[in-house]
A and B are shown apart, each in its own frame.
Chain A
């Protein structure tokens, strides 16, 4: 499979990349790890005339941890997220989730920026970033702006990013409490049939704060605000976790595909959400 022809650019600064995007509008696309983009180019599901490789832009790389505040450059690969010990100490849920993405070769090239900016509801990072209440920094013709991960996704492949904008970094505060990212998939390398991320902060049995987000259970990630308010301020027990699970499943809106009909997906969702809640509670 060979994609249609394009012109290749490898700018060394964000400004140069943005200016190419401005010149060519929706005929131009940036490429990060390429493991979502190249397959659709090869299938000719998208026709890109100008491809902008971001790999030479140093500002887009690296993980910066300063106290509680974590900033990850868009071009940071999944394997860098997994192997960074300081990131593991401050936000261990990232390693747990990243190890469940694709396979070793793909994780060597796949980036966090590509994963969150693509807007594919099957990607794990968008849900994970909603779980962490992350903020995305975008750079475009009109300068810099920030968008919350929980407000970034409008629909499958539709996001708040404008055509001339590049997602440059992702920031969030180190999460407090127990965590879990649970994913059910048919095989390694497959997208989730259902996946759930949970963070639970529990003091003396009482939940002081919580966060729950779901992957591939709607056309965007699902942030489960109803279950979060159900848990916050309450004594945590199995019964409450079951009620929260039920509320999350109700907020999900999966579609039938090769991974199964809606009823099956909701059943699997219930299992992964409950497992994630329980594991996060055990770790809290």
Chain B
């Protein structure tokens, strides 16, 4: 089958792909662009391990064809922090043991990243509803929720410090 050109911005960088239309976004990211943060868990839009940010919304990249993402801005876990400078959410997952085997973690982090912008002061119940599209097969939800609650607190503290500095 004929390949087509698809362009998108991934983690702030313009990318041009030459792929078959049936290429799933998760495969485009992992195999063509070597962003292997988005994981393939169930490949049936249930588990959320492939969650990335697409134009400011959390989506499951296993259930989007690459050409549907033409012109989109995509953010993967590689785009929010580095091993030397972790994002606050990543730090909190580390501190509160928000991961066991780690397979669901990039999806959990990316969903948390967007969720905490949608709802910066969530209750524990809202966190659970907010990450209901992400499954952890280690069933480590208690600590994942703890990590997200801690990240919310820390992000809000940082935001308040910034506000004071501006004032």
Find the A residue at minimum CB distance from B4: A8
> A103's contact among B64, B67, B132, by CB below 8 Å, is which?
B132
In this complex, which of A5, A6, A103, A105 has the most chain B Cβ atoms within 10 angstroms of its Cβ? A105
> A10's contact among B67, B111, B133, by CB below 8 Å, is which?
B67
A5-B22 in contact (CB<8A): yes
Asked whether any CB of chain B lies closer than 8 Å to the CB of A53, the reply is yes
Chain B residues near A109: list those with CB within 8 A. Answer: 59, 63-64
A5-B132 in contact (CB<8A): no
Taking the closest CB of chain A, its distance from the CB of B49, in whole angstroms, is 11
Asked whether A104 and B43 contact (CB < 8 A) given A10-B67, A38-B63, the answer is no
A1-B58 in contact (CB<8A): no
Asked whether any CB of chain A lies closer than 8 Å to the CB of B103, the reply is no
A39-B45 in contact (CB<8A): yes
Taking the closest CB of chain B, its distance from the CB of A175, in whole angstroms, is 26
A103-B57 in contact (CB<8A): no
Which residues 53-71 of B have a CB within 8 angstroms of A?
A: 57-60, 63-65, 67-68, 70
A171 to B158, CA, bound (A): 46
Asked whether any CB of chain B lies closer than 8 Å to the CB of A205, the reply is no
Chain A residues near B27: list those with CB within 8 A. Answer: 2
As a 0/1 sequence over residues 102 to 126 of chain A, the CB contacts with chain B under 8 angstroms (1 = contact) are 1111101100000000000000000
A124 to B111, CA, bound (A): 25
Which residues 66-116 of A have a CB within 8 angstroms of B?
A: 79, 102-106, 108-109
Chain B residues near A206: list those with CB within 8 A. Answer: none
Asked whether A7 and B133 contact (CB < 8 A) given A38-B64, A42-B44, A104-B111, the answer is no
A34 to B64, CA, bound (A): 7
- Known contacts A1-B43, A39-B44, A106-B45; can you find 10 more A-B pairs with CB under 8 A? A1-B44, A5-B22, A6-B21, A7-B1, A7-B21, A8-B4, A34-B68, A51-B21, A102-B133, A105-B48
| Closest 3 pairs (CB-CB, A-B) | A103-B133, A5-B1, A8-B21
Task: Identify 10 residue pairs between A and B in the complex whose beta-carbon atoms are under 8 Å apart, listed by A's number.
Answer: A7-B2, A34-B63, A55-B68, A104-B115, A104-B132, A104-B133, A105-B51, A105-B58, A105-B59, A188-B129
